[in-house]
A = this chain, B = another copy of it.
Amino acid sequence: MEILGGPHFAVAGAGESHGPAVTTIIHGSPPGFRIRRCDVQPFLDRRRPGGNKHGTPRNEKDKVVFLAGLYRDDTDALLTGSKLTVDVDDQSFETEGYEDGFTTGEPIAAIVLSTSKKSGDYTQFSGPTGEVRPGHTDLVKFHQSKGFVDVRGGGRSSYRSTITDVIGGSVARIILRECFGTRFVSSICQVGSLKSKQSLADTLTIDNIDEIETSLGEAEIASIDHEFANEAGELIKETRKRGNSLGAAVEVVAVGVPPLLGQPLYQSLKVRLMGALGGLNAVQSCEIGSGVDVIPRTGSENNDPIRSSGYQSNTHGGLLGGITTGSPLVARVGFKPTSTINLPQDSVNKRLDEIEFELAKGRHDPCVGVRAGVTLESRMAIELLNSVLAYQATAHCGDSIKLF
Contacts and interface: CB of A to CB of B under 8 A. Distances in A.
A370 interface: no
A306 B346 CA distance: 6
Interface stretch (A48-56, A98-106, A197-205, A224-232): A98-106
Contacts of A303: 134-135, 337, 339, 341, 345
Given A20-B95, A96-B20, A109-B15, A320 B136 contact: yes
B279 A247 contact: no
A294 B300 contact: no
Contacts of A360: none
Contact of A295 (B266, B300, B334): B334
Interface in A114-144: 114-115, 119, 126-127, 132, 134-137, 139-141, 143-144
Interface in A303-328: 303-310, 312, 315-317, 320-326
Contact of A140 (B114, B119, B126, B260): B260
Contacts of A215: none
Most buried by B among A6, A109, A334: A109
A31 interface: yes
Interface string A24-37: 01011111100001
B20 A1 contact: no
A305 to B, nearest CB: 4
A278 B284 contact: no
Contacts of A88: 37, 63, 65, 81-83, 97
Q: Which of A276, A292, A324 has the most CB of B within 10 A?
A: A292
Contact of A298 (B239, B294, B399, B404): B239
B31 A145 contact: yes
Contacts of A1: 3, 6-7, 10, 12, 27-28, 264, 266-267
Interface in A350-398: 352-354, 388-398
Contact of A71 (B148, B275, B402): B148
Given A30-B397, A275-B278, A145 B25 contact: no
A300 B104 contact: no
